[in-house]
Amino acid sequence: MKNGAIYSKTLKFSLLRLLIGVLGIAAAALITYVGYLCGKSLDDTTHLLVTGICLVVGMVVFGLIVHYLGYMLKAGQIAMITRGVTEGTLPEDVVAEGKAAVKKRFVTANVYFLIESGIKAITSQITSGLNTLTSAASGNDKGVLGTIASLVMMFINIVLEYVNYCCLGWVFYHPEQNAFKSTCDGAVLYFQNWKTLLKNAGKVMAFTLAAVLIFFAVFCALNIIVLEAALPDNGSLDMVLFTMDDGSELTLRGMLYIGAVLVAFLFAMLLHSTFVKPYLLIMVMRNYMDAAQGSTPGFDVYEKLCGLSKRFKKMFEKSELPETAM
């Protein structure tokens, strides 16, 4: 099954996650607005307090919706991508099958979140260690060495991000064994085959940077065009908000333009996450499975990862739990 076919069938998960994100934002905004309306008849301090409480409640609701439903959909998508890559076929209703795979593999949602957060903690600890080494190598150099160090860390971060997905894919690929054991095996096999996977990582980084830059440039241009057409040109927006140390001034108009650029960046990241990242994941997953299926997890790599990450060591210890706990 070709990458394009897997992508077109599993894109539904990304679109559903996007919809859930929008609904979560709408729910948070609605709760906050209701609090604002309910407190209008109160004094200013109480009104502000009620609105603030509702804002916090709205953010909690948003977090629960996106965290639970969004992550479970992501797990289902990884399960179906893994099947498409390893078996060469996918069911007609990939969403229903993906949900079933997640429920079958993880008896409770808590186990899934423990696995998922554990993988992130492992890569985070490894990234922190590598970041320290890279910073030490470049020192306080803000020139060529500093730039190279920043690019190296960007590359490492992109590479390690896909370790999370590949480890989850390995968990779904081995439903017969302890989920923690599969997670640890998956991480070991990823780092064990780093030379092979590194070739693919260059393409992933290039695609990532190109997609984000293109989306950002398009949205930035559109936002600025809309602002220039909508904002009045009578000087009402030229009020100075801040004066910088160098004497330059930031006006309300300038703040709006900065906001437009930030919104453009957020939209660029959102589009990349929804439409580009799933395809890159399929590329990485295929290369990972091709390399991992012909390998056996090495004990020496286990020892190195245990030394690099305390969380990995804990996950390895949990791998001795009976399968019924999974």
Angle subtended at Cα 292 by Cα 151 and Cα 86, rounded to the nearest 5 degrees: 110
Q: Is 282 exposed, middle or buried (0-12, 13-18, 19+ CB in 10 A)?
A: buried
Cβ neighbours of 126 (radius 10 Å): 20
What H or E segment, with its residue span, contains residue 154?
Answer: helix 144-173
Residuewise pLDDT in 10s, the chain (326 residues): 899 999 999 999 999 999 988 888 888 889 988 888 888 778 877 888 888 898 899 888 888 877 778 888 988 999 999 999 999 999 999 999 999 998 888 765 567 777 777 777 777 766 666 566 555 555 555 556 666 666 777 777 777 778 888 888 999 999 888 888 888 898 889 888 877 777 777 788 888 889 999 999 999 999 889 888 877 776 656 666 566 666 666 676 777 788 888 888 988 988 998 999 999 999 999 999 999 988 888 888 888 888 877 888 888 887 765 554 44
Q: Is 287 exposed, middle or buried (0-12, 13-18, 19+ CB in 10 A)?
A: buried
Q: Which two tokens stand for residue 254?
A: 């300038």
Domain ranges of the chain: 1-105
Q: How many residues are recorded in the chain? A: 326
8 Å CB contact between 138 and 145: yes
Q: Is 224 exposed, middle or buried (0-12, 13-18, 19+ CB in 10 A)?
A: middle
